[in-house]
């Protein structure tokens, strides 16, 4: 089995949610090829999903030293920084992400969440509105923007946004009832974005190999 085949197998396990199988495969690849961008990046994503943000940051930073202009790795580094509480670093990573990929609505959502945590409500509102310009049905943006507008007494628009969010995800009330903050929304965004990044990579590799 060559490195490319091993990467495909590792990513396949990762996409299926089998992190216990994916982790040693990534590590085996890195033992043979320590500077493999994809293994470094995606084992970092894996550790983000496991909540081990120290390892996540370390691996993704190494990946970005190899390919500093990759928008997916830059975004996922922002997620790891965010989980670790390095909010200023996360802002920088997400800002770099949207410069490289202006259509990344999830990056704007996470920028909005961080600005909200920092009490920067105008910046948060702007970020959520930019996310909704890209994807008008993005639940995390709808909910969080509605939440902020509710707190500043702009209730008419807040109600409309909540209604749209519930149309997209009727389980949102139950999910939010289990949390006093927005952690559930952050996890939703991080998880979906990470797996989307993996899917894009697999697609590119398969397309390349099929030529």
Q: How many domains does the chain divide into?
A: 1
Tokens encoding 71: 């928008």
Q: What is the pLDDT along the chain (211 residues), one digit of tens a residue?
A: 788 889 999 999 998 999 999 999 999 999 999 999 999 999 999 999 999 999 999 999 999 999 999 999 999 999 999 999 999 999 999 999 999 999 999 999 999 999 999 999 999 999 999 999 999 999 999 989 998 998 898 988 988 898 888 888 877 654 454 444 444 443 344 444 444 444 433 333 433 343 3
**Phi, psi values for residue 183, rounded to 5°:** -60, -40
pLDDT at 211: 37
Give the CATH number of the domain where residue 130 resides: 1.25.40.10
Tokens encoding 185: 């929304």
pLDDT at 173: 59
**Alpha carbon distance 48, 62 (integer Å):** 15
Q: What is the pLDDT of residues 64-107, one digit of tens each?
A: 999 999 999 999 999 999 999 999 999 999 999 999 999 999 99
The domain of 114 spans 3-210
């Amino acid at each position: 089995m060559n490195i490319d085949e091993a990467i495909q197998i590792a990513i396949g396990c990762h996409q299926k949610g089998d992190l216990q199988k994916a982790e040693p495969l990534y590590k085996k690849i890195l033992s043979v090829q320590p500077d493999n961008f994809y293994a470094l990046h995606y084992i970092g994503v894996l550790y983000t999903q496991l909540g081990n943000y120290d390892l996540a940051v370390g691996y993704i930073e190494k990946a970005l030293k190899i390919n500093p202009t990759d928008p997916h790795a830059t975004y996922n580094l922002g997620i790891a920084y965010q989980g670790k509480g390095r909010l200023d670093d996360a802002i920088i990573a997400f800002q770099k992400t949207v410069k490289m990929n202006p259509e990344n609505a999830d990056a704007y959502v996470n920028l909005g969440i961080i600005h909200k945590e920092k009490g920067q409500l105008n910046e948060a509102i702007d970020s959520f509105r930019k996310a909704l310009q890209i994807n008008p049905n993005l639940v995390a943006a709808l909910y969080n923007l509605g939440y902020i507008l509710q707190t500043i007494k702009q209730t008419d628009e807040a109600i409309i946004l909540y209604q749209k969010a519930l149309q997209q995800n009727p389980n949102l009330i139950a999910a939010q009832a289990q949390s006093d903050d927005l952690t559930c929304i952050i996890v939703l965004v991080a998880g979906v974005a990470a797996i989307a990044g993996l899917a894009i990579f697999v697609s590119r590799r398969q397309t390349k190999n099929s030529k």
